Structure 1
Amino acid sequence: MEAADAMPKQPLSVRTKTNGAMADDREVVGEPVSPSARLLEDMYIVIIIGFAAPMNLPAFRAGVASRIACHLPFRSIQATDKKGILRWVETTVSLDYHIVCPTLDAVAVAIDPDQAVEDYVASLSTQSMDNSRPLWDFHLLDFPTSEATSTAVMRVHHSLSDGVSLLTLLMSCARSAADHMKPPAMPPLPKRTGAIYARPRPPASAGALAFARWVWSFVLLAWHTTVDVAVFFATILFLKDTRTPFTTTGHHGELHRKRIVHRSLNLEDVKSVKQTMNCAVNDVLVGVTSAALSRYYYRKSGDNETGKDIRVRSILLVNLRPSTSVHASVNMIESGKGSDVKWGNQVGFIFLPLHIAMHSDPLDYVRKAKNTCDRKKSSLEVAFTHVAAEVFFKLFGPKAGAAIFDRMVYHTTTSLSNMIGPVEQVELFGHPVVFVASTTFVPQEAIVVNYQSYVNSVRLALAVDEAPFPDCHELLDDFSETLNIIKGAAVSLGKHNQKE
């Protein structure tokens, strides 16, 4: 009997309803569901993992039982107590409901296995989860594709976890492919240890000019925060992005079938541009995103007015945990202190403008991205948006809070995230990992862009509505071709600078 199935079969003090669970005559005890988690209704994080070996179902089930289902959030459901408070309530876990081995059309798999996997993942976007069980599952597809021998798809309701929590979980589950007894090497710690907007005070020996610059940085911080907060409220009230091919065509409450397409980009190419442009990896990826969307926009719209103002904004998710949180959490899990790890959602967000234009110099997209990201680092916007979400929920209630959140998402265009994954080859429950593609099903958005690094590659994943993006593979081509063009321009610039 597996560890998860061997848990004591305590009767659960809930009864299932169509909209979740409600308390019966006994008391429901557990942590309240946070306001941030309650705002993420109908949002699912999806992680596609390609393996270099056939699926070993007993080993995979044993690994999930001992390394995932053992953690409290992954054996809890949401239930309403007698006072109407929604809480996380511990329950038993039966892996038969959480590990799915679907039987697909053998003819379709034989003709195009890549398409068969893509179609199956798309079908998950319209399938809700059973609220009477913990809100996560694995779907195992045991047949070869062009990139992998077998595939696992992990789906987790966003109220249960954010991307950083899931990365922490998977890093703790993985083992080094070079030494199966060791956990994988962790990504290097960032040089920054404080908040992104923090400006350390210069030493007295630096002089009056350095001190004046330090004081001026706080003036800019206050001004930028004021502007960003005003834009935040304007977005909720009336400020909408320009209608483009990326704008959702749906209405509030509608669920559209989502299709996930993904591709590997060369991390060394990204780092090469980063070094030449003296910027961050995230700046390069934002620049590539702007350039690729611009390429697609002008091709599909037929718009020749390259100088007009096109407002396209991304909701960029920002981790509010300390920069060392992943390392610390993995170490706690490895040392048997997994109960001390803070799971759940601990993210804020910023409105990040994406530059839609045509430039003769491809590096202008990266320059624009760097300027925008540097400007956002000198603002308290991310802290304000996190607190605002909590306050809106508490003041106006769950329905009104969710309506305000939906309005904000509908008035912007896309979501964007970038996460650092394992820096060496790993295996998951005995299965060597070829690639990891992660993204999110967001009902209110027609396109979501995610980047996930793994060893020496960056996996780009696009989650798009099927109707407006029947050519989503062309859009994927735009991203890879754009990176090649930007890299070529950076190489030329580097050679020119060397000559000088």
Structure 2
Amino acid sequence: MNVHILAIMGFKTKIDLDVFKPNLPSTLLKHPRFSSLLVDLAIYNVETADKFVEDYILNLSKTSIDKSMPLWDLHILNVNTSMAESVGIFRIHHSLGDGISLMSLFLASTALVLVKDSETPIKGPITSTSENNPRRKVFNEHGFESKNIEKGITGKKNNLPVKIRVRSILFINIRPSPGIQALADMMEKNTKAKWGNWLGFVILPLSIGLRDDPLDDIREAKAMCDRKRHSLEALCSSGVAGFVFKFFGIKPASSLFLRLFTSTTLAFPNVVGPLEEIGFYGHPLAYLAATTYGGQANELMVSMQSYMNKMSVVLSVDENTIPDPHQLCDDIIESLKFIKNSVVEKGLAK
């Protein structure tokens, strides 16, 4: 699986290259997985904003990192978007580490019963090249300030089909030491923090229906996630994948993962981010978003990334299946606002 991670960083100021570039050798490039000669940064200056960044990321997802070079690169877009004054795109091959590993670096500088989900508008036909199709990344962020929004799903006619199966792959950190750890601890030998790819996965059924209380969906999903996290499903899925790779080779292991992704409707990665404001070499961060491409056979990936009191939602979609990802992203944001408003109204949070 030729998977690449994209960390999309919005900055509150324009990026000063005379400050940014000289600091890389003394921070990021000291890490053994990222050590290399600093050749150049990809730098772009344009007047218009959001669409340019979105199209740039789309075109980036059509390419792979040259395997003869270090498996990461950094792109700096000094463009004034609706959410930031400039954007940095850090592309890393997934073989260098998983989200927990990379977040620690960033802060320092089951069910194998593979029945298929129902055919729905967000699950298109799978071909032999589906996992390599370019993905448009649509992202938005949502703060926790309270807003009044229009009520009401009660009373609407339910035209949803019966017996519909929609499931998500949920990635689980299987390290004995949970959460984001200090980079120095992760690089030590025999540590519980463990740098690298230490992920298992679980299959999460999604409830489809109209509820009078939107918090019922949250309670049901949380109960299901808690059961899955405390079960052996994630450890077993990781163990089975490792067993297949060790004894049968990379092609059967890749086929196993491909079948897993093509049998489900969406993937749902998420990583907890910094609670306090951070910056790169004097450039304060406005938002942080993350996603992946390559080896992604799902037509839809929904990534969540927290930063301070905000959460970024990133959709990675195959436009052949989901031609209007902006509408889907807006719908998700409105749903989150509706849930938040319900929590505030019930006095469960301020």
Do the structures match in fold with TM over 0.5?
A: yes
In the alignment, is residue 469 of structure 1 matched against residue 322 of structure 2? yes
In structure 2, what is the equivalent of residue 47 of structure 1? Answer: 7
Please state how far the C-alpha of 1:484 moved relative to its aligned partner: 1.8
Amino acid at match of 1:311: R
In the alignment, is residue 62 of structure 1 matched against residue 22 of structure 2? yes
Cα pair distance change 1:389/1:461, threshold 3 Å: same
Amino acid at match of 1:69: L
Q: Which residue, out of 480, 484, 487, partners 2:340?
A: 487
Cα pair distance change 1:306/1:493, threshold 3 Å: farther
In structure 2, what is the equivalent of residue 265 of structure 1? Answer: 142
Please state how far the C-alpha of 1:53 moved relative to its aligned partner: 1.4
Amino acid at match of 1:252: S
Amino acid at match of 1:491: V
Aligned-partner Cα distance in 2 for 1:337–1:389: 25
Aligned-partner Cα distance in 1 for 2:31–2:273: 21
In the alignment, is residue 455 of structure 1 matched against residue 332 of structure 2? no
Q: Which residue, out of 200, 217, 222, partners 1:348?
A: 200
Cα pair distance change 1:268/1:319, threshold 3 Å: farther
Please state how far the C-alpha of 1:395 moved relative to its aligned partner: 2.0
Aligned-partner Cα distance in 1 for 2:170–2:54: 26
Please state how far the C-alpha of 1:123 moved relative to its aligned partner: 0.5
Please state how far the C-alpha of 1:338 moved relative to its aligned partner: 11
Gaps of 5+ in 1: 1-40, 76-92, 104-108, 174-228, 270-293, 295-302, 496-500
Instruction: Kindly provide the CA deviation profile for residues 219-267 of structure 1, in whole angstroms up to 9, marking residues without a partner as x.
Output: xxxxxxxxxx4x31x21xxx00111122143412342121111111224
Give the 5 Å matches for 1:103-182.
109-110=46-47, 112-173=48-109
TM-score (norm 1): 0.63
In structure 2, what is the equivalent of residue 96 of structure 1? Answer: 39
Aligned-partner Cα distance in 2 for 1:307–1:259: 28
User: Greater relative contact order (Cα 8 A, min sep 6): structure 1 or 2?
Assistant: 2
Decide whether the 8 Å contact of 1:451 with 1:460 is kept in 2.
yes
Please state how far the C-alpha of 1:268 moved relative to its aligned partner: 6.5
In structure 2, what is the equivalent of residue 81 of structure 1? Answer: none
CA-based RMSD of the aligned residues comes to: 2.6
Gaps of 5+ in 2: 147-152
Cα pair distance change 1:324/1:349, threshold 3 Å: closer
In structure 2, what is the equivalent of residue 89 of structure 1? Answer: none
Cα pair distance change 1:338/1:56, threshold 3 Å: farther
Please state how far the C-alpha of 1:378 moved relative to its aligned partner: 4.0
Give the 5 Å matches for 1:282-321.
305-306=159-160, 308-321=162-175
Give the 5 Å matches for 1:178-189.
none
Q: How many residues align?
A: 337
Identity of aligned residues (%): 37
SS at 1:65 equivalent:
coil
Decide whether the 8 Å contact of 1:73 with 1:343 is kept in 2.
no
Please state how far the C-alpha of 1:342 moved relative to its aligned partner: 3.7
Instruction: Kindly provide the CA deviation profile for residues 349-379 of structure 1, in whole angstroms up to 9, marking residues without a partner as x.
Output: 1111122222232222112212311331342
Decide whether the 8 Å contact of 2:116 with 2:263 is kept in 1.
yes
Aligned-partner Cα distance in 2 for 1:102–1:385: 42
Decide whether the 8 Å contact of 1:46 with 1:155 is kept in 2.
yes
In structure 1, what is the equivalent of residue 149 of structure 2? Answer: none
Instruction: Kindly provide the CA deviation profile for residues 254-310 of structure 1, in whole angstroms up to 9, marking residues without a partner as x.
Output: 4212111111122467xxxxxxxxxxxxxxxxxxxxxxxx9xxxxxxxx95436122
Cα pair distance change 1:160/1:46, threshold 3 Å: same
Cα pair distance change 1:130/1:113, threshold 3 Å: same
Instruction: Kindly provide the CA deviation profile for residues 439-466 of structure 1, in whole angstroms up to 9, marking residues without a partner as x.
Output: 1115311111111111111111111112
Amino acid at match of 2:6: V
SS at 2:160 equivalent:
coil
In structure 1, what is the equivalent of residue 117 of structure 2? Answer: 241
In structure 1, what is the equivalent of residue 150 of structure 2? Answer: none
Which structure: larger Rg? 1
Decide whether the 8 Å contact of 2:175 with 2:198 is kept in 1.
yes
Aligned-partner Cα distance in 1 for 2:54–2:103: 22
Please state how far the C-alpha of 1:325 moved relative to its aligned partner: 5.7
